[in-house]
Structure 1
Amino acid sequence: MKNNSTPIASPKGVEDTESRNLQQATIYRILLAVSFVHLFNDSIQAVIPAIFPILKENMLLSFAQVGWISFALNMTSSVIQPVIGYAADRKPRPILLPLGMCCTFAGVMLLAYAGNYTLVLISVMLIGVGSATFHPEGMRVAHMAAGLRKGLSQSIFQVGGNAGQSLGPMLTKWIFIPFGQMGALSFTIVAAAGVAVQTYVARWYRDMLKDGYTFRKKSSVRKIDPARSKSILNATIILVFLVFVRSWYGASIGSYYAFYLMDNYKMSLDNAQVYIFMYLAAGAVGTFFGGPLADRFGRRNLILMSMVGTVPFALVLPFVNQFWAGVLLLIGGFVLLSSFSVTVIYAQMLYPGNIGTISGLITGLAFGLGGIGSLVIGNLIDYIGITKVFVACGFLPLLGLLALLLPDDDKLEEWAAD
């Protein structure tokens, strides 16, 4: 009879074992699902810069007004992200995944019928709120489904988003030039598909939480040495600034380089969009390979190389012919965005147990600051001309030298392990 009592002492151990197994398994179907939704979400966001030439012509907008549209999208989608991420770290909310895509659906619908500048701003803000809701929880799902393969999971998740962004120029060529502003209506189908997939992912997310999955270890509440806390804060500031600079330069290409090609090479709008697609598609490929390259050369080193390595191509770009412009965009896009997923992983290692908050900070707030850059660039183009602005933007990646001030990988792993 005494033997019957032995299992009573083991539920805690069994529960701990099951929890560890839940956190070690890599769930590829969920990783792929959330990556596809990332593609859906960011392809819809790419609709906004893709429609800039149409809106500029139809509503007789200045470059500064175009910059305000980009600013409204980026600030809405970014400033909210750390807040949602912080709340999700305290209490996960799987329902936010489909709800975010519902908000995006409403924004796209309004954009198709927006008859004035104010309605355009409201529509892009709705799309921004949907994106802000998706990203922190989406990254938490990717982290949850990764098991022990965190780097791979970020590459899979982020390549979906960058692939979606790369579609923007081709959307202009295939949809907005033939159909005009009403072409945005077709993206309600994409948003509806995103709602369906997010509902499936949210159910899995909810079930994992019920089965005992946790993001936060008990040891993560330890008291951190004040000197280390200061070092982590300094590293965070540098990392956010580097992402800001990268986003600022990316905004100059994604939002305005088509106008540069049309102005300097007398290129048609649809042909100019092919060049932007080449840059963004190369960036998506660079994002995928960034994780393995960081494993080989180190996370900090890759962040440094991706920024500084872009400088020669960025400086020469305004002075070459059309053929070499395409070559430089391919190489520059690959090199610059190879650090995209690596910066997220680096930040998550600075703050283990706060996946939603730090992911929202890096991909949200830092991109919002990039939106400010887009606004500044638009105003500068109106005042000094597009050629001078692109020559000046070529120097931006030089600020990547600040990556030398980041803690090296050994120090980062030491902090994450403690």
Structure 2
Amino acid sequence: MPRNRSIVLLSAGHACVDVYQGAVASLVPFFVAERAYSYAAASGIVLAASLLSSVAQPAFGALTDRRSIPWLLPVSTILGGLGVALSGLGGSYPLTLLFVAVSGVGVAAYHPESARIARLASQGSHSSMGWFSFGGNVGFAAAPLLVTAVVATGGLRFSPLLVIPAVVGSVFCLPVLRALEKTASAGSGAPTVTGTDDRGSFLKLSLAVVCRSVAFVGLSTFISLYARQRTGGGTAAGTAALFVLYLGGAAGTVLGSRLADRWDRVTVVRMSYLVTVGAVAGIVFVPGPAIYPFIALTSIGLYVPFSLQVTLAQDYLPSRMGTASGITLGLTVSIGGLISPVIGGLADATSLRTALTPLILAPALSWLLFRTLPEPATPFGAEPVRTPGPVAAPGPGSPFE
């Protein structure tokens, strides 16, 4: 199967899975309206899905390091959709928590193995990995539209219809898995992973991802309210700010992978974080509608490193690619979510502007950490290209060629 087709299918499947990362939060207003859940109860539902998913991902990563489990992709996709689909049935709060937790486990099981397979299918291409990550961004952003279209039509009793993306996503996985099985039967195998684990660099990278997560989660939580304050606008001003933040993320993911095909990943990520420092400062201090370009620049700056950090983590821990993917995509991201209540408490005690000001330091810390990181040689046989120029076509022999 041609490499590009495999990546397109994996990206589409990734979008179908990450719909369920955004779906739980999108269901909260409907839970509050139909079941009279308190805000605390509603936030508990989101926490049950996101925290369990983030913490479980490294465990699934360690499991996939011991053995390849490609069938986990369609199974986990269905599990993620089934949990969300069942969460709208019945009125029991414990059952609702259980169902969204099941969805979180499905999402957690999907990402480490899918990232490993996508890396093999891409033959180490940063551009291909960027498109794989882009699929997840699209799915996350589409979740509110999908949930509103379904649940606003017929209420929570229509929630079983939300399983449809999971069914579609599981079907997208099948041709890629058949290609893997065919390759294994032919005896050509996957590329041999070489290299020594660099745990020190992986730790620094993980800390940089934590700082990035603090900045992005903090802004995504409060940017709508802050934009309304700074522009003097209403709900539309806040919604526009959140839309720009998400849209810029999708653009940044693709841009980052393209830049990394011309320059090394560490340099691209380092410069991106440096630009983000100024962009976040613009959000905090620039008044009026001029805040929107800074929101877009911040989003792009925070998402340029997104897929590059995953491949860097895999290259720093070549013998434990699943663990590296699970920690980078899951555990470090959840820590950013834990900081949001601190920002909210500070905003209650002072002002939202004061509470958001420390977020300027987050990309600055990421930049400092990346200043000491080396560019690893990729375990897929392709040395990083460090100067502008045409990207060489992949050589023959790939299991996805």
**Same fold, TM-score > 0.5, yes or no:** yes
CA distance in 1, matches of 2:155, 2:352: 25
Which 10-residue stretch deviates more, 325-334 or 51-60? 51-60
Aligned alpha-carbon RMSD (Å): 3.3
1:71-117 Cα offsets, whole Å, 9 max, x none, are: 43332222222222222232211221111012112221133336465
- Aligned positions, number: 381
CA distance in 2, matches of 1:112, 1:267: 34
Which 10-residue stretch deviates more, 107-116 or 243-252? 107-116
Gaps of 5+ in 2: 384-401
Does 2:216 match 1:250? yes
CA distance in 1, matches of 2:42, 2:276: 26
1:43-95 Cα offsets, whole Å, 9 max, x none, are: 22112333455556764644x66655444333222222222222223221122
Secondary structure of the structure 1 residue equivalent to 2:377:
helix
Secondary structure of the structure 1 residue equivalent to 2:117:
helix
Does 2:165 match 1:201? no
Q: 1:335 aligns with which of 274, 277, 301?
A: 301
Q: 1:413 aligns with which of 377, 394, 400?
A: 377
* Equivalent residue, structure 2, for 1:22: none
CA distance in 2, matches of 1:191, 1:98: 8
CA distance in 2, matches of 1:117, 1:261: 34
Q: 2:111 aligns with which of 135, 142, 150?
A: 135
* Equivalent residue, structure 1, for 2:289: 323
Which residue identity is paired with 1:371? Answer: G
Q: 2:255 aligns with which of 289, 302, 305?
A: 289
CA distance in 2, matches of 1:263, 1:60: 28
- Structure number with the higher helix fraction is 1
Residues 131, 108 of structure 1: alpha-carbon distance in 2 compared, 3 angstrom cutoff:
same
2:53/2:107 contact within 8 Å kept: yes
Normalising by structure 1, what TM-score? 0.78
Q: 2:11 aligns with which of 35, 42, 54?
A: 35
Larger radius of gyration: 1
Gaps of 5+ in 1: 1-24
CA distance in 1, matches of 2:209, 2:17: 20
CA distance in 2, matches of 1:176, 1:275: 25
2:218/2:337 contact within 8 Å kept: no
Does 2:365 match 1:390? no
Which residue identity is paired with 1:41? Answer: V
CA shift, 1:182, in A, is 6.0
1:70/1:375 contact within 8 Å kept: no
Q: 1:299 aligns with which of 257, 265, 271?
A: 265
2:86/2:99 contact within 8 Å kept: yes
Residues 279, 184 of structure 1: alpha-carbon distance in 2 compared, 3 angstrom cutoff:
farther
Q: 2:100 aligns with which of 101, 121, 124?
A: 124
* Equivalent residue, structure 2, for 1:241: 207
CA distance in 2, matches of 1:315, 1:346: 28
Residues 218, 271 of structure 1: alpha-carbon distance in 2 compared, 3 angstrom cutoff:
closer
Residues 378, 179 of structure 1: alpha-carbon distance in 2 compared, 3 angstrom cutoff:
farther
1:279/1:330 contact within 8 Å kept: yes
1:167-206 Cα offsets, whole Å, 9 max, x none, are: 3455577666777656755422212211222344333333
* Equivalent residue, structure 2, for 1:192: 167
Q: 2:325 aligns with which of 359, 368, 373?
A: 359
Which residue identity is paired with 1:102? Answer: I
CA distance in 1, matches of 2:151, 2:351: 26
Residues 26, 376 of structure 1: alpha-carbon distance in 2 compared, 3 angstrom cutoff:
farther
Secondary structure of the structure 2 residue equivalent to 1:274:
helix
* Equivalent residue, structure 1, for 2:278: 312
CA distance in 1, matches of 2:100, 2:228: 25
* Equivalent residue, structure 1, for 2:368: 402
Normalising by structure 2, what TM-score? 0.81
1:85/1:137 contact within 8 Å kept: yes
* Equivalent residue, structure 1, for 2:62: 86
Q: 2:239 aligns with which of 252, 273, 285?
A: 273
Residues 44, 219 of structure 1: alpha-carbon distance in 2 compared, 3 angstrom cutoff:
closer
CA distance in 2, matches of 1:248, 1:67: 18
2:205/2:370 contact within 8 Å kept: no
Secondary structure of the structure 1 residue equivalent to 2:318:
coil
Map residues 51-62 of structure 1 onto 2, 5 A cutoff.
Answer: 51-52=27-28, 55=31, 59=36, 61-62=38-39
Secondary structure of the structure 1 residue equivalent to 2:291:
helix
2:141/2:246 contact within 8 Å kept: yes
Residue identity over aligned pairs, in percent, reads 26
Which residue identity is paired with 2:187? Answer: G
* Equivalent residue, structure 1, for 2:398: none
1:82/1:357 contact within 8 Å kept: yes
